């Protein structure tokens, strides 16, 4: 048994044993779960993929004379301004006006992280204390006061793989799906994925310090669409389950781990790198971090079925998905990943290095995340039924 304070003391003294999720699985296979519990202090995880529920709050500072911004555009992308006078939120999936799907909010966020200037245009109705009615200027991360990611749903704990049985190509957030089950796409780091290494969030909660976009961030709340009602195999959920809301300083982040992604005929998303340290508190945690690709399963869903209640075509392991092909309806079907396993591995290694050098200490959650949560649907209801 360990606690986080003891682990942090070992980190500060340079004595902590830190392994990436890949390394600990190999160690566990050779020496057993009990040895992991005895000898390993921290396991570092990582994921890099499309995280649509992302965006950035920005405070631009006050103009002369001051303005209470009611409409804001960043490189032509509308930002939400129902806040204070010079605060705005730009969502990753927002599209530039009059430009189809050629540019989006994720592009703005990536440009800022790359150190580029962004065109700011704002209008207002004018008040006695905020008389100015428009402004046209440029901003960068150097010129704004605060700029931070606040992402309502990141790090989905597992997700479905996608295929298409119809006779036409589908363009989705799971990428291009070829007709007649011509391909299968998936989006998870599998055995490296943070929430699959702590499936019941025993060590992760509100206030957990994480690697976010190349900088340091924190778990802020449960993610939207968080649920705990998904069946499990080998201790891991089979399908989309828990998720986290996260926050972090955009000024700390790096272009390597913050990328704008454009899905053909679907729209924009933010490619984001996240790493979470898992403190090995006991043998239960050691068992969880020992799970491997062949033990983690995802459902294959047919996206030609226009329903929120698609039934799985079959369940497959991540070892099968990552092999390049699976058997589906009696034929071999190509598979491809929308997340980067290589970048997930890089993140787990970089976070390991931060911890070993004493640059990153673990934080105890200030509040646990829900042990039980049901995800409700949106129905067409009358006022009385709502």
- Please list the active-site residues: 129
- Give the list of residues 6+ apart from residue 24 with CB closer than 8 angstroms, or none: 36, 40, 43, 289, 290
d(CA 189, CA 173): 17
Question: Helix 21-31 and helix 341-356: axis angle, to 10°?
Answer: 80
* Residue 331: other Cβ atoms inside 10 A: 10
Residues 114 and 85: beta-carbon distance below 8 Å: no
What CA dihedral angle connects 45, 48, 52 and 54, to 10 degrees? 60
Strands 277-279, 55-59: pairing kind: unpaired
185: closest CA among 107, 110, 257, 266? 266
Please check whether residue 4 is in contact with residue 11, taking contact to mean a CB–CB distance below 8 angstroms.
Answer: no
């Amino acid at each position: 048994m360990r606690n986080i304070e003891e682990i942090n003391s070992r980190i500060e003294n340079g004595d902590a044993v830190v392994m990436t999720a890949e390394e600990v699985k190999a160690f566990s296979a050779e020496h057993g779960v009990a040895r992991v519990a005895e000898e390993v202090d921290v396991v570092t995880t990582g994921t890099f993929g499309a995280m649509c529920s992302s965006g950035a709050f920005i405070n631009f500072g006050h103009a002369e004379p001051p303005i209470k911004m009611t409409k804001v555009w960043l490189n032509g992308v509308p930002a939400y301004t129902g806040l204070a006078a010079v605060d705005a939120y730009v969502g990753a999936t927002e599209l530039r006006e009059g430009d189809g799907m050629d540019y989006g909010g994720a592009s703005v966020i990536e440009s800022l992280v790359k150190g580029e200037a962004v065109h700011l245009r704002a209008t207002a109705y004018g008040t006695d204390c905020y008389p100015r009615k428009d402004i046209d200027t440029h901003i960068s991360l150097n010129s704004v006061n605060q700029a931070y990611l606040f992402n309502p749903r990141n790090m989905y704990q597992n997700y479905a793989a996608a295929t298409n049985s119809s006779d036409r190509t589908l363009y989705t957030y799971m990428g291009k799906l070829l007709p007649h089950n011509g391909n299968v796409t998936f989006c998870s780091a599998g055995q490296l994925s943070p929430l699959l290494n702590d499936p019941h969030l025993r060590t992760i909660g509100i206030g957990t310090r994480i690697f976010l976009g190349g900088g340091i961030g924190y778990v802020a709340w449960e993610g939207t669409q968080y649920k705990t009602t998904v069946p499990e195999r080998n201790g891991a959920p089979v399908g989309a389950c828990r998720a986290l809301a996260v926050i972090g300083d955009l000024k700390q982040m790096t272009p390597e781990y913050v990328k704008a992604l454009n899905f053909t005929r679907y729209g924009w998303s933010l490619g984001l790198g996240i790493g979470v340290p898992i403190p090995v508190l006991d043998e239960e945690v050691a068992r969880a971090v020992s799970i491997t690709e062949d033990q983690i399963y995802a459902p294959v869903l047919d996206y030609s079925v226009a329903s929120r209640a698609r039934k799985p075509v079959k369940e497959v392991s991540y070892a099968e998905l990552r092999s390049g092909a699976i058997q589906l309806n009696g034929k071999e079907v190509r598979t491809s990943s929308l997340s980067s396993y290589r970048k997930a591995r890089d993140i787990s290694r970089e976070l390991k290095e931060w911890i070993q050098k004493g640059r990153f200490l673990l934080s105890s959650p200030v509040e646990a995340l829900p042990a039980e949560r049901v995800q409700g649907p949106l129905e067409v209801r009358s006022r009385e039924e709502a």
